[in-house]
Amino acid sequence: MSSPQILNDPPVQVSYRTCPLCEATCGLRIEHTVEQVLRVRGDREDILSRGYACPKGIALGELHHDPDRLRRPLIKDAGRFREASWEEALARVEQGLAPYLTASGRPAIGAYVGNPTVHNLGGTLFLRPLLKSLGTRQIFSASTVDQIPKNLASGLLFGDASALPVPDIERTDYLLILGANPWESNGSLWTAPDLPGRLRALRRRGGRFVVVDPRRTRTAAHANEHLAIRPGYDALWLLALIQVIETENLARPAHLAGKVDGLERLTDIAAPFSPEAVAHLTDIAPEVTRRIARELAASRRAAVYARIGTHANRLGTLAAWATEVLNILTGNLDREGGVMFPLAAHDRPRASTAKARGFSTGRWHSRVSGYPEVLGELPCIALTEEIETPGEGQVRALLTIAGNPVLSTPDGQALERALAQLDFMVSVDIYLNETTRHADVILPPAGALERPHYDVLFLRMAVRNIANFSPPVFETGARDEAEILLNLAAIAQGLPPDNGARVVEETQLRETIARDLADPASPVAGCEVDDLRALLEGQSPGERLLDYLLRSGPYGDGFTTDRAGLSLQRLRSAPHGIDLGPLQPRLGDVLRTASGRVELHSEIIATELGRARALLAERAPAAQLLLIGRREFHSNNSWMHNLPSLIERPERCTLRMHADDAARLALQHGQQVMITSGAASQLAPLEIHAEMRPGVVSLPHGYGHRHADTRQSQANAHPGVSANDLLPRAVEGPSGNAVLSAIPVTVSAA
Ligand SMILES: Nc1nc2c(c(=O)[nH]1)N[C@H]1C(S)=C(S)[C@@H](COP(=O)(O)OP(=O)(O)OC[C@H]3O[C@@H](n4cnc5c(=O)[nH]c(N)nc54)[C@H](O)[C@@H]3O)O[C@H]1N2
Ligand SMILES: Nc1nc2c(c(=O)[nH]1)N[C@H]1C(S)=C(S)[C@@H](COP(=O)(O)OP(=O)(O)OC[C@H]3O[C@@H](n4cnc5c(=O)[nH]c(N)nc54)[C@H](O)[C@@H]3O)O[C@H]1N2
Ligand code: SF4
Ligand SMILES: [Mo]
């Protein structure tokens, strides 16, 4: 007997898909009907993540169905948003930007690009033509509240700012982790799904990992050893490790002989930073520092990995440089079990004949404070002053893409006031939030399950060379991010948004092909642009360009009938991904310095070393509380707070403090406290927490959902305060990265 209930049930399908929410790129198994997500879990057959998934990935169905997520463009009329058609919304953008699309007007256009862009196929492939079409130097991004010091260090050392070696965790014996909490962040600039599992496996096979963090994070709690460093001094401590390795003659970079310039100068450079000389600041005992240096040097295969706690910090660029110098000195750069450079399927094989140009910054400077450009962008903390300060090139029109700088960048309230003064603002975003509420037009791209996916950035940092592609789970007709960026690029070029998008896409595609054809070492050398173009498949701009990159890439089919080679079609037929093998040494291919060797020394590093020496004379900030941040497992910067399964838990926007500090200040667990920095004051509940070291307090970022006129009902029900309202607009030094950690504060009863 069949029940009508069952007969009417829509058929259940299963789709496999890479999670686009963070750098781990977990494979997900999604059970769904034609329009409803039923269940999401980790895909056990995924070649890299093998079933791992975190609660955010599991909540993708909630994100897809979130009634607050924007599905139609919004236009602001007389201060109120209303829904509009794409035609009308894009026409409004054309109209709003028109006054600035002149030679003298373009410098007044600003752009801020946020983090989800790098998790989006369209975002990664089509941002560049858009920014180029705008013709402005007022370019800002979340990179300068994040990792740009690491890019800068790689640029200086390797000649390529995107050459970011990753710990070869499967084969290492010893891992030194600083300023990172991969147990909860799932890894950063290091694509390794299930880092908890991988770290456990490292210990099981007799390896060790040591965590340097002012908090006893979950990563630290699982480590062989935790060193609760005083925040803000990692660069000094890393230099002390170099000092020990140099003075005790522990360096053994044998396989790098002839590939590294300037090793002989390191003894002198590190001399002032003995473990004793830095101990009063780092609060790490000299004998511990010495022991760690010896352990690191003695390990057969070891890796030093440092992330945002060290980068978005005082001397972040120097910390990134010293991290790599340690990997070089211990002979672990570009070696199995050390740190290695992945080779992704869409990477361009290095042209043997192309002349390396080296790397430079400061090709132009910001208008108001004179910050040097790094990687073509300016520090995001300069955006406020660039809007507020009159004169030629004052930002009057702003484009934001997948960003919420009001909550995610320091002194967000000042930025909000500045945004309110703009003549015109357009946001590409899936929510009406603290930033996009200032826009005149909001253009919502397809959601995470409605678009094709391939991780252009993160497959370049994966612990194994792999490739995978996810077609959209739902065909809703929603406009893809790629299409919107191309629409905007067309407008910026004075073309009609829709037909123009095709022109911009075609131009980029053909230019990409032509660049390869000009290189005799390319696998497609000798072909014709038209012939290759005609062979490309794909239903969207991202797919078409990806198909080209894969087929002409290092594992590609080279447009031959060789079925073993990669193409988009081949990836489509492998929903759990394709394994391309373990990481291989490839430093020679990576180096783009003028000398063709790793260049340890540069003017920028010399200046930073001078600042580090000056810091040694500082007294320990013993009597002061230093504020640091906190990422939590269920959160994602400022933007996943509208999903009930992630936000509905105990109050998380708390100030954590060690019991001794609370006792000294006569503060009780749970009471409201006033946190005061040089910049501002904020109220938050106090949480006395054993993970804190004395003298350090922690407040998570991304909260402060303070406006009734946003459309994020769940987030607004759990507002919290914004840590960034407490942070001054300060940069770490040559990279322009904001200083997010070790901010002096006082805390008192509210
Ligand atoms: N104090 C402090 N501040 C920090 C940090 C810290 O540690 N401490 N961390 C910093 C770091 S590492 C980062 S990366 C930045 C992040 O800074 P931002 O990128 O500016 O901010 P997010 O909170 O990630 O906001 C992402 C925005 O993208 C939208 N969005 C989500 N998915 C999509 C999509 O597919 N397409 C589009 N177009 N929009 C989408 C969301 O609605 C949201 O508006 O925050 C930084 N801020
Ligand atoms: N759950 C979750 N996962 C995320 C995100 C999220 O918001 N939530 N954001 C994603 C993004 S955009 C990024 S960039 C990555 C970042 O990934 P991670 O780099 O792992 O970032 P955090 O988890 O913030 O870890 C930074 C650690 O540095 C410590 N720290 C602070 N100051 C100092 C210091 O001076 N010295 C040292 N040694 N340590 C210090 C902090 O206590 C913290 O534990 O995470 C990504 N993954
Ligand atoms: S760890 Fe990152 S990639 Fe994996 S499921 Fe969670 S959010 Fe998605
Ligand atoms: Mo980030």
**113 neighbors 142 (Cβ within 8 angstroms):** yes
Whether residue 216 has its Cβ less than 6 Å from ligand 2: no
CA angle in degrees (0–180, nearest 5) for 117-123-129: 125
Residue 381 has pLDDT above 50, yes or no: yes
pLDDT of residue 5 exceeding 60:
no
CATH number of 13-65: 3.30.200.210
Residues at Cβ < 5 Å from ligand 4 ion:
146
Distances (CA, A) of 297 to 249, 250, 294, 307, 438: 10, 6, 5, 21, 53
Mutate to test the pocket of ligand 2, among 118, 181, 653 (most ligand atoms within 8 A of CB): 181
pLDDT at 597 over 60: yes
d(CA 415, CA 606): 34
| 191-200 average pLDDT score | 98
Q: Which of 349, 275, 248 is nearest to 616 (CA)?
A: 275
Ligand nearest to the CA of 142: 1
Residues 82-99 have a mean pLDDT of 98
Starting from the CA of residue 453, give the closest ligand. Answer: 1
Report pLDDT digits (tens) over 440-483.
Answer: 999 999 999 999 999 999 999 999 999 999 999 999 999 999 99
**Most confident residue range from 156-170, 338-352, 649-663:** 156-170
Residue 3: pLDDT over 70: no
* Å from CA of 26 to ligand 1 middle: 19
Helix (H), strand (E) at residue 282: helix 275-282
User: What pLDDT score was predicted for residue 308?
Assistant: 98
**Ligand 2 mutation target, pool 23, 313, 631, most atoms within 8 A of CB:** 631
pLDDT for 354 beyond 60: no
Tokens of 105: 């007007």
pTM above 0.95, yes or no: yes
What's the CATH number for 621-749?
A: 2.40.40.20
Domain boundaries, the chain: 13-65, 74-136+379-453+472-558, 148-345+588-612, 621-749
Per CATH, the number for 74-136+379-453+472-558 is 3.40.50.740
Atom of ligand 1 nearest to the CA of 428: 38
Which tens digit of pLDDT belongs to each residue from 116-164? 999 999 999 999 999 999 999 999 999 999 999 999 999 999 999 999 9
Among the four given CATH numbers 3.40.50.720, 1.10.287.1120, 3.40.228.10, 3.40.35.10, the one describing domain 148-345+588-612:
3.40.228.10
The protein residue with its alpha carbon nearest to ligand 2, atom 16, reads 188
487 in ligand 2 pocket by Cβ < 6 Å? no
CA of 166 to the centre of ligand 2 (A): 16
* DSSP 8-state code for residue 109: E
pLDDT tier, 598 (very low <50, low <70, confident <90, very high otherwise): very high
What atom in ligand 1 is closest to the CA of residue 484? 38
Q: Which stretches of 529-600 are DSSP H helices?
A: 529-535, 541-551, 568-572, 587-590
For 525-572, how does the pLDDT look when each residue is reduced to its tens digit (9 = 90+)?
899 999 999 999 999 999 999 999 999 999 999 998 766 899 999 999
- The closest-lying atom of ligand 1 relative to the alpha carbon of residue 119 is 35
With a 6 A CB cut-off, is 24 part of the ligand 2 pocket?
no
Query: What values do phi and psi take at 152, rounded to 5?
Result: -65, -45
The CA 116 to ligand 4 mean position distance, Å, reads 9
Averaged pLDDT for residues 680-700: 97
* pLDDT of 351 over the 80 cut: no
Query: Is the Cβ atom of 412 under 6 angstroms away from ligand 1?
Result: no
Residue 2 pLDDT class (50, 70, 90 cuts):
very low
Residue from 46, 52, 54, 640 to probe ligand 3 pocket by mutation (most atoms less than 8 Å from CB): 54
74-136+379-453+472-558: same fold as 13-65? no
Q: How far apart are CA 201 and CA 199, in angstroms?
A: 5
Tokens 């370019």 label which residue?
139
453 lines ligand 3 (CB under 6 A): no
Asked whether the beta carbons of 27 and 48 are under 8 A apart, the reply is: yes
